[in-house]
Amino acid sequence: MKLREPIGLSAGSWYPPGWQSTGQALAGGELDSRSARDLGYAGVPVATTEAPPEMAVSAARAVLDRAGCPAETLSLVLHASVHHQGHDAWSAPHFIADRLDARRAIPIGLLQQCNGGAAGIDLIVSRLQGDPDAGPGLVTTADRFLLPSWDRWRGDYGMAAGDGATAVLVHRLAERPAELELHATASTVAADLEIMHRGNDTFEAAPLGHGPINVRRPKRDFIAAFGGERFVKTAADAIRTAVRQALRDAGLAGDDERLRYAVLPRLGARAMQEAYIPPLAELTGAEQLDLGRSTGHLGAGDLNASLADLATTDLLAPGQYALVLNGGGGFTWTAMVVRRPSTPTSRPSTPTSRPSTPTSKETAS
């Protein structure tokens, strides 16, 4: 999406106090040593009492307070998730809007798998560009991965699932100072890959009709039918297209010295080495930044959590850019280019997220 002018972003994340290390998962028999090496996580946050929409409200309140944005001025509250939000036949976005007193906002739920948070930002940007009277919009994400419905360590290949929430306020720069400026966003799609999360399973009439969620099963079906190279090649082509478009629309070359980081999704280290790191390295010499070693994969919130880390730390100096990359089942890939304003706004001296020490592409590989 080409932006007529940069869009302001304020972002934050919220994590539960509980945390499970990879060592604890190994000791408890929840994870084998080979998988632990492939994942490369230190551990993941674990929520036991906090429901996902409650976590989203906590993240949102902090961001709105920090940005000085009254909730009643919001025009949209979009909530993205991957897993169960605590009730059936119920609207989590309306709960979040109500708890925030966002009385004028239209609450909408997004089911875009792991790219839901990124899709929400795109939708609000489109609204702001198309309606001059629209107020700022808020995107929240929140997920919790608990047995018996989801095994956080063994429910999928290439990732372990962490619990947490994010919030991103999307607004015009003329309305208030921004922690980050959004200069470009680009998405690519390979809808034929939806079968990776369906495989040979039949359509069921009720949730969990095939038992606890096990994404490994349909992925095995996909690999048996098409081979693993089909996904790797399609993903690499899609990532290249999204990154090229985002950099072009932001007016940046891949070797521009102002482009400080290329931020990776929060997947396992081996999965990123196979699918994400090679095409990124072809297109930009920016340092590849891995922020997920102690958060795990955050469901719909990986990209938004990375925006939160960029917004609330000094990773970016004023005037520097970052390319933030993400992907989600279906499949959709999104690349965003953000910039730290030349005149920085006040922000916390410590991250709002459970910080992993940022690691470079060498650590990620």
Q: Tell me: pLDDT of 244 over 60.
A: yes
- Between CA 144 and CA 83 the distance in angstroms is 7
Looking at residue 355, its pLDDT comes to 43
Average pLDDT on 280-296 reads 96
Based on DSSP, count helices (H) and strands (E) in the chain, helices before strands. Answer: 11, 12
Looking at residue 2, its pLDDT comes to 82
Q: Tell me: pLDDT of 345 over 80.
A: no
CB distance 298 to 265 below 8 Å: no
Average pLDDT on 234-243 reads 95
The secondary structure of residue 125, as a DSSP letter, is H
CB distance 7 to 182 below 8 Å: yes
- Between CA 140 and CA 120 the distance in angstroms is 8
CB distance 186 to 1 below 8 Å: yes
* 32-58 confidence digits (pLDDT tens): 999 999 999 999 999 999 999 999 999
Architecture of domain 7-172: 3-Layer(aba) Sandwich (3.40)
The band of 28, judged by pLDDT with boundaries at 50, 70 and 90, is very high
Tell me what the pLDDT averaged over the chain comes to.
92
Please state, for a pLDDT cut of 90, what percent of the chain lies above it: 84
Looking at residue 347, its pLDDT comes to 46
Distance linking the first and last C-alpha atoms of the chain: 31
Element of type H or E holding 338:
strand 332-339
- Between CA 145 and CA 137 the distance in angstroms is 27
- Between CA 142 and CA 261 the distance in angstroms is 25
Average pLDDT on 172-188 reads 96
Structure-token match 């079968």, residue found:
195
Structural tokens at position 27: 């000791």
Fold of the domain built from segment(s) 185-344+356-364:
Peroxisomal Thiolase; Chain A, domain 1 (3.40.47)
Q: Tell me: pLDDT of 259 over 50.
A: yes
Look at residue 206 and give its three-state secondary structure. coil
- Between CA 211 and CA 348 the distance in angstroms is 44
**Composition of the chain by helix, strand, coil, percent to 5:** 35, 20, 40
Count other Cβ atoms within 10 Å, centred on residue 100. Answer: 23
* 300-326 confidence digits (pLDDT tens): 999 999 999 999 999 999 999 999 999
- Between CA 49 and CA 27 the distance in angstroms is 24
* 133-147 confidence digits (pLDDT tens): 999 999 999 999 999
Domain with CATH 3.40.47.10 in the chain: 7-172, 185-344+356-364
CB distance 280 to 139 below 8 Å: no
